[in-house]
Copies of this chain bind each other. A is one copy, B any other.
Amino acid sequence: MTKQVGIIMGSKSDLPIMSEAAKALEELGVTYELTVVSAHRTPQRMIDYAESARKRGLKVIIAGAGGAAHLPGMVASLTSLPVIGVPILSSNSIDGWDSILSILQMPAGIPVATVALNGGKNAGILAASMIGAFDPKVAENMDNFKKDLKQKVEDSARELELKGWKESLED
């Protein structure tokens, strides 16, 4: 069956962050596939993945990587689908600056839609919003998701006001 979103990551160690994208897509009713593709260690696999993506029916690719993170940008150079980049704070990263700048600062002509450091969940939501722009059912799910966010804040505000901050701090 055709998937709408492809989630790839440079190393299996990125799974705790990138699985948040998968989880968000499931909640928002969007189909996806998920695997490991390394720009530096499996360049041919990356090329095959990116070049076949549109033909296989994908609408968006989410790519996460750490350090000198070339995966999102290289995939973007190999497909005309939108590519969402997730900078990952890997060990030996310099506070995440390396992956953020390697993904964000793409040259004119080859954009990557970059989300926050370790923003796997937001990558999933962003992909869903792209689908939702054309699919009313997903758009409705997005609206409900936003209502939930709002409800949770309002509930926690009410609880805090009732209990007072001193008691709330002890929770």
Contact = CB atoms under 8 A, between A and B. Distances in A.
Nearest to A51: B43
A137 interface: no
How many copies, total? Answer: 8
A157 interface: yes
Interface of A: 10-12, 15-16, 18-19, 22, 34-43, 45, 47, 54, 59-60, 66-68, 70, 73-74, 76-78, 80-84, 89-90, 92-98, 100-119, 121-123, 125-126, 129-130, 132-134, 139, 142-143, 145-146, 149-150, 152-154, 156-157, 160-161, 165-166, 168-169
28 contacts: A12-B156, A12-B168, A36-B153, A36-B157, A37-B157, A39-B70, A39-B77, A40-B74, A40-B107, A41-B152, A54-B139, A60-B133, A80-B146, A82-B129, A89-B92, A90-B107, A95-B95, A97-B97, A98-B104, A104-B114, A108-B121, A109-B149, A110-B149, A113-B115, A114-B114, A114-B115, A130-B133, A134-B134
